[in-house]
Amino acid sequence: MDARSIIAKLRRHDVPDAAELSWFAQGLADGGVSDAQAGAFAMAVCMGALGAEGRAALTLAMRDSGDVLSWDLDGPVIDKHSTGGVGDCVSLMLAPALAECGAYVPMISGRGLGHTGGTLDKMEAIPGVTTQVGQERLADIVGNVGAAIVGATAQIAPADKRLYAIRDVTATVESLDLITASILSKKLAASPDALVLDVKVGSGAFMKTPDEARALATALADTANAAGCRTSAVITDMNQPLARSLGNALEVAEVMRALTSGEVSLLSELSSALGGVLLKDAGLSASVEKGTAKVAEIIRDGRAADRFGRMIASVGGPVQFVENWDRFLPEANVIQEVTARESGYVAAIDGEALGLAVVALGGGRQVESDEIDPAVGLSGVVRLGTKVSKGEPLAVIHASREDAARRAEAALRQAITLGDTAPDVPPLIHERIGA
């Protein structure tokens, strides 16, 4: 076998067989496939379709390109993944809450991709935190703390780690097959007993329409269940940022306010709903509704905050982070409010445009070598359907320089549309595809 023949097969819209995909995945992992060939492969897959059988074969090939973890614990191992949105910091809230419910959560996460933020980048906005830990250390953290949010090591789905970075800079992010294989190769390598997949739909998601989101949710759930992991997919709304902040440290601050104040928000509501699905699928709750209520209570009464603090300390963060989080998080040099130039209802929000504005501020990567500024981003973003008067704030920009803030303001004004009438605000949860 060789990479050129496999790429040529894809170009002809023929699906490589399982052996060919396994060979290519190993080449991604061990360097036998060049960056140029990896990019051509990603583009060929993006321009065609692997189908259910080919998608499953690529997923398992990428999973098996490295180690597959095993566990010896006194409770179920469960996990969650989001397909990517803006202001989506659910993982930071949900992982500790699930650990408080008696589950074990080895959450192997990723970095920012395209216009969406990355969970690892958010974690690393906390001083001292390192998300790269070895397998023995991961097992120790999960066994003692109950939850860990870490990156894939060189031994976990190495084929995906290589392809993930290449997709980000070759405009091949938005492929159902590549998204499915990327997400599940890492998730299945962690050997969870149950998995919930948060599939975003709307202006801030990769999947813009309900049909696209349903196709991805079905592909993910079917592939994971076929691999022996009890999996549900939940289609959730991303026509506006989930949290009112976008940017790494700003989203951590949003999580900490929710965990320490007990206030109900879209962020806590979705975290509870996803947790309820997981607890039911893992046998820790008699129903989704009871599981949702349990997670909501744990978030509200501070138990999730305490567990979050233990989780952060276990990966090098400050021991007193929960008590003093606002002192530890970095702040931007320029903080500038953007106000409405006219009165009206917030009729539409272009979430992708907001995400790209944060990337342009330095809160994400445009090439692999870019360093992220954890302090930049947007906060206080208005909610869809809100009535604002002239002069009232639409959002607050956090930038490193005044010229960057001016560019972000222009992007922000383009992204937020005001109208004369209140729009119909979509529901937070559209649909659940059961295990």
Active site residues: 79-82, 119, 167, 182, 186-187
Asked if 217 and 250 touch (Cβ cutoff 8 Å), the reply is no
- Find all residues with CB under 8 Å of 137, minimum gap 6, and list them: none
What is the rounded distance in angstroms from the CA atom of residue 399 to the CA atom of residue 247? 10
Report residue 19 as tokens.
């052996």
Give ∠ CA 295-380-273 in degrees, rounded to 5: 20
Pairwise CA distance, residues 285 & 335, whole Å:
45
Q: Give Cβ neighbours of residue 208 (< 8 Å, ≥ 6 apart).
A: 201, 202
Count of beta carbons in the 10 Å neighbourhood of residue 4: 10
Instruction: Say how many C-beta atoms besides its own lie within 10 A of residue 243's C-beta.
Output: 27
- The residue with tokens 């907001």 is 354
Say if residues 403 and 329 touch (Cβ distance below 8 Å): no
- Provide the terminal-to-terminal Cα distance of the chain, rounded to the nearest Å: 37
Q: What is the distance between the alpha carbons of residues 363 and 377, in angstroms, rounded to a whole number?
A: 6
